[in-house]
Amino acid sequence: MKIAIVLGTRPEIIKMSPIIRECERLNLDYFILHSGQHYSYQMDKVFFDQLKLPNFKYNLDVGSGSHGEQTGTLLSRIEKVLIKEEPDVVLVQGDTNTVLAGTLTASKLKIPVGHVEAGLRSFDRGMPEEINRVVADHLSEFLFAPTNISKDLLVHEGIPEDKIFITGNTVVDALFQNLKLSQDKAEILEKFGLNKKEYFLVTLHRQENVDCPKRLKSISNSLSKINNSFGFDLIFPIHPRTRKCLEKHGICLDGTKCIEPLDYLSFLFLQSQARLILTDSGSVQEEACILKVPCVTLRENTERPETIKVGSNVLAGTLPENILEMTSKMIKVTPDWTNPFGDGQSGNRIMEILISKFQ
């Protein structure tokens, strides 16, 4: 069995890292194809270095661009690599344009696709990610669903059950494997003048929020009100896309410490020590849940309903009064929920399934 691991963004690198480590441990024939969708050192290469992962064999260097431009370029470049390498299976993770292009290309070349983190749904087709994950699921041969909820959604859409495998989420593996390493980054609190459990961590990057001036302004006003109401520091490792949109529309983030994007271990440590997290990221919702940190999601929907069900997360939308209300609610929550995303052995399960299918 020859495996192509296709990735291109920070969350994909993190969530694929347990699978890469399993391939190394089992001495399997595999290679990493990096799309270059995240292309700066702080958003990309630093994660390979810190996680001590083998380097990618290919970097397609696609960079930024419109959805059509980026996906079209990826289709062409991924196709060349897959034709040359002739893998037996292509693994993708999540819901990015890299996932969409990797799945489409492999399917047209009649190469089976394994979708890691299959079955997530926000039921909002206005989100590009929702379209990507639906297409990936319906074209994949192996659907690695993290929970029973995600499996049930796939079955409801007519996907045969024999293609679906409940494996847990590899984000748990990654956190368990790297949380101790993150303790070496404790000095970051002193660097930014923070105390444990006395600050709120903010992330914001989704297109529907940052590309809409009205929503972006509303969220920025909310952050200012939160700072005034609760007195906690707000620390915001700002995504390049978000910074660009803030500058374009002349929006200021009063009461918020905006810093450059962080390496994985530093960000993981900041997450683990935060009093509360405000985010529009799906991965951060999961990580907050696993780390026992209350989360307020700055969206109207989530493809991680498990976090809502266990009480680690609430949906606040983007209106200041709602965000303030949900923040007030979650700051009082006792973090005694049970992690719904598995036991940290997802990478092992996924590789066992693939090995059994290709023997």
Domains assigned to the chain? 2-169+342-358 (3.40.50.2000), 179-330 (3.40.50.2000)
Is there a catalytic annotation at residue 205? yes
pLDDT at 311: 98
Give bridge partners of residue 276 from the DSSP assignment.
200
pLDDT band at 42 (very low <50, low <70, confident <90, very high): low
Q: Given a cut of 90, is residue 53 above it in pLDDT?
A: yes
pLDDT band at 40 (very low <50, low <70, confident <90, very high): low
Euclidean distance between the first and final Cα of the chain, in Å?
Answer: 8
What would the pLDDT profile of 296-318 be if each residue is shown by its tens digit? 999 999 999 999 999 999 999 99
Best CA proximity match to 252, nearest among 274, 282, 286, 221? 221
Q: Quick one: average pLDDT of 322-334?
A: 97
Q: pLDDT above 70 covers what percent of the chain?
A: 98
| Residue 75 CB-density burial (10 A; 0-12 exposed, 13-18 middle, 19+ buried) | middle
Residue-averaged pLDDT of the chain:
94
Sheet bearing 89-93, strands edge to edge: 58-59, 29-34, 2-7, 89-93, 113-116, 142-145, 164-166
Q: Quick one: average pLDDT of 217-236?
A: 94
What would the pLDDT profile of 111-145 be if each residue is shown by its tens digit? 999 999 999 999 999 889 999 999 999 999 999 99
Q: Which of 34, 138, 156, 205 is catalytic?
A: 205
Indicate the pTM of the whole model.
Answer: 0.92
Q: Given a cut of 90, is residue 45 above it in pLDDT?
A: no
pLDDT at 200: 98
Neighbour count for residue 157 (Cβ, 10 Å): 12
pLDDT at 86: 98
What would the pLDDT profile of 57-69 be if each residue is shown by its tens digit? 999 988 777 888 8
